[in-house]
């Protein structure tokens, strides 16, 4: 394969990719369908922001946010059914079970682990030890600025953690498991080795003080922007949206079977972070995964970083076989 | 994908022997990987329906065994699938099969054409580790719920400490809204109530088993759906292949 030159690099030499928005297919169908799949994303973002901004205190609670989050994901699953980006990414029963297993794992066991060794706990201990107060002046900022700062600080940290995972072998090992998925669906973001799921959840947000409503608004940014990373829906996202936010197109390229393409689009929600650091490529891919599309079993997903790491250690530091003299 | 292990695959099934058509289609348990009771005297017949799917389809009049298996053959030319054909039997095994494989939910199986007086019949016996996994997940999440409760009991702070934390949080004055938010009409934050104060903050949050119970019920429902759905889907797929013009 010849590949396509994008800046200093050549992508698509190992697996087909589509580069440039003008080459990406548009939503097909009648005017209503095209209208819905053009304006769905901005409408949901602004509608939910308005909801959390004006909701009375009795409604602006975490449990309502969890309920809305689940409802929104169910709605997106419906959209995947109605207007899939690729037929080859259609959600199957098996994929749904495995995806939900990881969602459940994150909601339960991982939360317990986080409550002991998560970043918020570490920050709380450090602050207590050094008698630091939180940066309380943030609470005086307008709500939407606070919300944006919460999500931006987290996404900025996630960008560097993710980029580190693609550039440093010990971090790549746990992250590589996530790259063995062969299709994108809304819950695929939860699929990965538990070590990676823990690492990617680390952030420095706990250093700052924000008002509770700002957290709910920040969650809305994550829900109505970040969730589209792993979705099998064809949208005609507006130009400004594709410029600012990460899309399933960007992320499919990141999951491509083409190695050079995977080294792009690292951010979770804000693709302009990638633009700032020169790692953004606008495009998409259908063929995803590693090793030609080998899909790992759940057992291997759990053990791969350790078995592979052990193999590498043995190769590097193990005793070389002693050559016996020929008789 | 190549069929490197095809020869050994054929040996995994008692029914694969062309001369043993009278035998029931049962795998050789000693070599059957998803068998949790390997080497025990448990009769799997009573429980293996959990992850084994069996069924049959009548062939069109005049359709020969060879023709029928020829039509089914392309289903097993997928990445990660090895298969072996011997007379009236086709055995297959899958490893790391991609999601795009139409039979990806199954990991191994035997398909055999049986000749009867009334006409030939395709009988199949398929094994799915995912069905077994999904069946076991509700139990795993119930265990997680129990673990959460146990940790909650162990971690329960002494009453005085909890009251102190609640008092501190309640004493914290509510932050005044930024003038822009006031102008736009956002509701002002309330002073946290005493009871709610201890719920706030990640550390102070009481561990709740509710999400584990929700996931346990979700997987129980998903199992029932999958057991019925995948049975029907594979039957439809095989029928479609057999009847394709």
pLDDT digits (tens, 9 = 90+) for A184-216: 999 999 999 999 998 888 877 666 777 789 999
Chain B residues closer than 8 Å to A181 by CB = 99
B99 closest CB neighbour out of A92, A108, A292: A92
The alpha carbon torsion through B101, B104, B110, B112 (nearest 10 deg) reads -40
ipTM reported for the complex, 2 dp: 0.87
Q: Select from A295, A311, A306 the least CA-distant residue to A99.
A: A295
How open is the CA angle A214-A77-A243, to the nearest 5 degrees?
55
Q: Mapping DSSP to helix (H, G, I), strand (E, B) and coil, where does residue B242 land?
A: helix
Q: List the single residue in B with minimal CA-CA distance to A95.
A: B99
Q: Give the C-alpha separation, A83 to A235, whole Å.
A: 9
B202 closest CB neighbour out of A115, A142, A289: A115
B122 touches chain A (CB under 8 A): no
Question: What does the pLDDT look like over B32-68, one tens digit per residue?
Answer: 444 444 555 567 778 999 999 999 999 998 889 999 9
How open is the CA angle A79-A84-A85, to the nearest 5 degrees?
125
User: Does the beta-carbon distance from B97 to A295 stay under 8 Å?
Assistant: yes
Question: Integer distance in angstroms from the first to the last C-alpha of chain B?
Answer: 26
User: Does the beta-carbon distance from A57 to B187 stay under 8 Å?
Assistant: yes
* Nearest CA distance, B224 vs chain A (angstrom): 11
Q: Which of A31-40, A155-164, B5-14, B122-131 has the lowest mean pLDDT?
A: B5-14
B35 touches chain A (CB under 8 A): no
Q: Where are the domains of chain A?
A: 4-312
Across the range A248-262, mean pLDDT stands at: 96
* Nearest CA distance, A88 vs chain B (angstrom): 6
Residue B81, CA distances (Å) to A233, B89, B111, B126, B129 in order: 29, 16, 15, 14, 15
Q: Give the C-alpha separation, A147 to A216, whole Å.
A: 8
Q: List the single residue in B with minimal CA-CA distance to A66.
A: B211
How open is the CA angle A217-B165-B163, to the nearest 5 degrees?
130
User: Does the beta-carbon distance from A108 to B212 stay under 8 Å?
Assistant: yes
Q: What are phi and psi of B180, to 5 degrees?
A: -65, -45
B147 touches chain A (CB under 8 A): yes
Question: What does the pLDDT look like over B90-105, one tens digit per residue?
Answer: 999 999 999 999 999 9
Q: Give the C-alpha separation, A107 to B209, whole Å.
A: 10
Residues lower than pLDDT 70 in chain B: 1-42, 156-173, 192-206
B96 touches chain A (CB under 8 A): yes
Mutate which: B1, B95, B100, vs A, most A CBs within 10 A: B100
Let me know: does A69 contact A61? Beta carbons within 8 Å: no
Token pair of B11, please? 């040996």
B100 touches chain A (CB under 8 A): yes
A211 closest CB neighbour out of B145, B148, B189: B189
B144 touches chain A (CB under 8 A): yes
A124 closest CB neighbour out of B178, B181, B203: B203
* pLDDT higher at B172 or A261: A261
Q: Has residue A244 got a pLDDT over 50?
A: yes
Chain A residues closer than 8 Å to B230 by CB = 93
Token pair of B78, please? 């997928």
Chain B residues closer than 8 Å to A121 by CB = 202-203
A140 closest CB neighbour out of B178, B189, B212: B178
Domains of chain B from N-terminus onward: 6-129+226-243 (3.30.160.110), 135-219 (no CATH)
pLDDT of the residue at A68: 96
Mutate which: A74, A92, A126, A292, vs B, most B CBs within 10 A: A92
Mean per-residue pLDDT of chain A? 91
Token pair of A180, please? 């063995």
Using left for φ > 0, alpha for ψ between -120 and 50, and beta otherwise, residue B2 falls in: beta
Let me know: does B79 contact B101? Beta carbons within 8 Å: yes
Chain B residues closer than 8 Å to A295 by CB = 80, 96-99, 104
Using left for φ > 0, alpha for ψ between -120 and 50, and beta otherwise, residue A131 falls in: left
Half-sphere exposure of B232 (CA within 13 A, CB side): 7
pLDDT > 90: percent of chain A:
77
Let me know: does A175 contact A262? Beta carbons within 8 Å: no
Residue A193, CA distances (Å) to A104, A186, A197, A199, B109 in order: 14, 18, 6, 10, 29
Across the range A161-166, mean pLDDT stands at: 95
pLDDT of the residue at B175: 76
Q: Chain A to chain B, count of Cβ pairs less than 8 Å apart?
A: 121
A296 closest CB neighbour out of B96, B100, B222: B96
* Nearest CA distance, A307 vs chain B (angstrom): 17
B234 touches chain A (CB under 8 A): no
pLDDT of the residue at B205: 58
A95 closest CB neighbour out of B96, B99, B175: B99
One-letter-per-residue 3-state SS of A77-111: HHHHHHCCCCHHHCCCHHHHHHHHHHHHHHHCHHH
Chain B residues closer than 8 Å to A55 by CB = 187
pLDDT of the residue at A132: 65
Q: Give the C-alpha separation, A129 to B184, whole Å.
A: 40
Question: What does the pLDDT look like over A90-125, one tens digit per residue?
Answer: 999 999 999 999 999 999 998 888 888 777 777 777
pTM of this prediction?
0.85
């Amino acid at each position: 394969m010849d590949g396509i030159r994008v800046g200093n690099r050549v992508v698509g030499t190992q697996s087909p990719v589509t580069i440039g928005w003008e080459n990406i297919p548009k939503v097909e169908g009648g005017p209503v369908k095209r209208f819905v799949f053009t304006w769905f994303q901005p409408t949901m973002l602004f509608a939910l922001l308005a909801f959390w901004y004006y909701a009375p205190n009795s409604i602006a609670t975490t449990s309502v946010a969890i309920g809305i989050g689940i409802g929104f994901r169910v709605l997106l699953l419906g959209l995947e059914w109605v207007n899939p980006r690729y037929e080859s990414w259609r959600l199957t029963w098996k994929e749904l079970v495995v995806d939900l297993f990881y969602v459940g794992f994150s909601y339960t066991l991982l939360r317990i682990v986080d409550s002991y060794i998560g970043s918020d706990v570490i920050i709380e201990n450090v602050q207590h030890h050094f008698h630091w107060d939180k940066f309380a002046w943030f609470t005086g900022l307008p709500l939407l600025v606070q919300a944006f700062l919460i999500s931006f600080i987290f996404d900025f940290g996630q960008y560097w953690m993710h980029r580190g995972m693609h550039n440093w072998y010990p971090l790549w090992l746990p992250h590589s498991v996530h790259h063995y998925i062969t299709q994108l669906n809304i819950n695929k973001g939860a699929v990965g080795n538990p070590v990676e799921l823990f690492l990617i959840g680390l952030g420095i947000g706990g250093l700052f003080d924000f008002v509770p409503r700002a957290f709910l608004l920040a969650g809305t940014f994550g829900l109505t922007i970040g969730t589209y990373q792993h979705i099998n829906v064809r949208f005609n996202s507006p130009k400004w949206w594709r410029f600012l936010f990460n899309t399933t197109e960007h992320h499919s390229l990141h999951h491509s079977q083409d190695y050079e393409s995977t080294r792009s689009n690292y951010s979770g929600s804000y693709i302009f972070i990638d633009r700032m650091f020169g790692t953004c490529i606008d495009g998409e891919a259908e063929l995803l995964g590693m090793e030609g599309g080998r899909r790992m079993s759940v057992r291997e997903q759990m053990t791969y970083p350790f078995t592979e790491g052990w193999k590498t250690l043995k190769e590097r530091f193990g005793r070389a076989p002693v050559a016996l003299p020929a008789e | 994908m190549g069929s490197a292990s095809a020869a050994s695959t054929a040996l995994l099934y008692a029914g694969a022997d062309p001369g043993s058509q009278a035998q029931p289609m049962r795998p050789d348990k000693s070599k059957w990987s998803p068998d949790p009771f390997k080497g025990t005297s448990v009769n799997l017949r009573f429980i293996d329906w959990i992850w084994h799917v069996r069924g049959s389809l009548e062939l069109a009049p005049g359709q020969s065994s060879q023709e029928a298996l020829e039509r089914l053959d392309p289903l097993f030319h997928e990445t990660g699938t090895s298969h072996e054909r011997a007379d009236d039997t086709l055995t297959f095994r899958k490893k790391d099969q991609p999601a795009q494989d139409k039979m990806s939910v199954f990991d191994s199986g035997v398909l055999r054409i049986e000749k009867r007086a009334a006409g030939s019949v395709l009988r199949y016996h398929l094994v799915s580790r995912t069905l077994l996994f999904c069946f076991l997940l509700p139990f795993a999440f119930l265990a997680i719920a129990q673990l959460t409760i146990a940790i909650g009991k162990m971690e329960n702070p002494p009453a005085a400490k909890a009251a102190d934390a609640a008092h501190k949080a309640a004493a914290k004055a509510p932050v005044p809204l930024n003038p822009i938010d006031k102008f736009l009409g956002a509701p002002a934050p309330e002073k946290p109530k005493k009871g709610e104060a201890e719920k706030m903050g990640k550390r102070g949050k009481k561990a709740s088993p509710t999400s584990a119970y929700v996931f346990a019920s979700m997987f129980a429902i998903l199992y029932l759906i999958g057991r019925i759905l995948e049975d029907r889907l594979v039957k439809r797929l095989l029928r479609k292949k057999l009847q394709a013009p």
